[in-house]
């Protein structure tokens, strides 16, 4: 049924948008071994994946991966499709961020963009490739992307908004699990949080997460006999492994 067949209604009475793309801020945490004599936790850096545009507008500039939505899919499906095309990875985290509609934001016309952000573990990003509309694709540290790079469109705003949301949610929700394996040590969790929020410091972090209120959010990893599991991957002394239960923390007022 075409619109013009219905009771004289026409959606074309006004100008309509020239496109509805989804842009995706793909975050990853890149680990590099610390230069120490003994086993240690790696150095970690929060990075963002950008593509280099190979066509007008903003040709040659770095931009967020993304693409136009089709009328047969939701914007989430658009984002997931583009995410899989750019990274070669399926079933990863992807979360809606905001809509960007400032007039003139896109020189191609009236184009309202929907931004998503995604947290992908670095080992899943090995197969990234330049899509057909990109000259190159690479990871930049978030600081570099925000401070030194001239970005296409309003993509700097989008990355900043995504980073703000990431910082807020990594403290308030269990979002950090996206950057961790199923079973992890509390030292690793602490490091992930500090990678995203360098100023974060809690002296008794490990003890704190093991006490009452957090039970229900984290649980010890258990082996087949029901005994706690320990790892020496990052330390001499074995560290207890934990997993997320799937519960999200709830908050009471102004607490």
Q: Which of residues 234-253 bind DNA (CB under 7 A)?
A: 234-240, 252
Residue 186 interacts with, from DNA, its own copies, none (CB under 5-8 Å by kind): DNA
Fill in the per-residue mask, 23 to 42: x = in contact with DNA (CB under 7 A), - = not in contact: -----------x-xxxxxx-
Residue 148 interacts with, from DNA, its own copies, none (CB under 5-8 Å by kind): none
Query: Among residues 95 and 240, whose Cβ is nearest to DNA?
Result: 240
- Side-chain-facing half-sphere of 160: CA atoms under 13 Å: 9
Centre a 10 Å sphere on the Cβ of residue 59 and count the other Cβ atoms it contains: 11
Among 110, 230, 243, 244, binds DNA (CB under 7 A): 230
> Residues in the site for its own copies, rule: CB under 8 A?
1, 3, 6-7, 9, 11-12, 14-20, 55-57, 68-76, 96, 98-99, 101-103, 107-112, 114, 171-172, 174, 193, 202, 209, 213-214, 217-218, 249, 251-255
Taking the complex as a whole, how short is the minimal distance between the CB of residue 238 and DNA, in angstroms?
Answer: 5
Fill in the per-residue mask, 183 to 202: x = in contact with DNA (CB under 7 A), - = not in contact: --xxxx-------------x
Taking the complex as a whole, how short is the minimal distance between the CB of residue 123 and its own copies, in angstroms?
Answer: 25
Query: Among residues 110 and 234, whose Cβ is nearest to its own copies?
Result: 110
Alpha-carbon distance of 40 to 232, in angstroms, equals 10
Q: Which residues bind DNA (CB under 7 A)?
A: 34, 36-41, 185-188, 202-204, 206-208, 210-213, 230, 232, 234-240, 252, 255
């Amino acid at each position: 049924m075409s619109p013009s067949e219905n009771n004289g209604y026409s959606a074309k009475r006004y100008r309509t948008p020239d496109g509805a793309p989804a842009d995706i801020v793909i975050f990853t945490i890149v680990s590099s071994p610390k230069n120490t004599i003994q086993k240690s936790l790696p150095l970690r850096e929060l990075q963002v994946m950008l593509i280099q545009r190979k066509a007008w507008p903003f040709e040659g500039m770095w931009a967020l991966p993304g693409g136009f939505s089709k009328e047969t899919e939701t914007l989430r499906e658009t984002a997931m499709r583009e995410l899989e095309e750019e990274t070669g990875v399926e079933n990863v985290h992807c979360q809606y961020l905001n809509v960007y509609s400032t007039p003139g934001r896109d020189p191609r016309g009236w184009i309202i963009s929907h931004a998503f952000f995604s947290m992908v573990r670095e080992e899943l990003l090995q197969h990234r490739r330049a899509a057909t509309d990109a000259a190159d694709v690479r990871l930049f540290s978030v600081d570099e992307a925000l401070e030194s790079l001239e970005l296409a469109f309003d993509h700097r705003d989008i990355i900043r908004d995504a980073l703000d949301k990431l910082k807020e949610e990594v403290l308030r929700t269990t979002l950090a699990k996206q950057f961790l394996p199923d079973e992890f040590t509390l030292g690793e969790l602490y490091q992930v949080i500090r990678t995203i929020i360098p100023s974060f410091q809690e002296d008794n972090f490990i003890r704190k997460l093991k006490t009452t209120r957090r039970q229900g959010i984290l649980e010890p990893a258990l082996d087949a006999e029901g005994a706690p599991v320990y790892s020496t991957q990052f330390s001499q002394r074995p560290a207890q492994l934990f997993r997320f239960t799937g519960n999200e923390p709830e908050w009471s007022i102004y607490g």
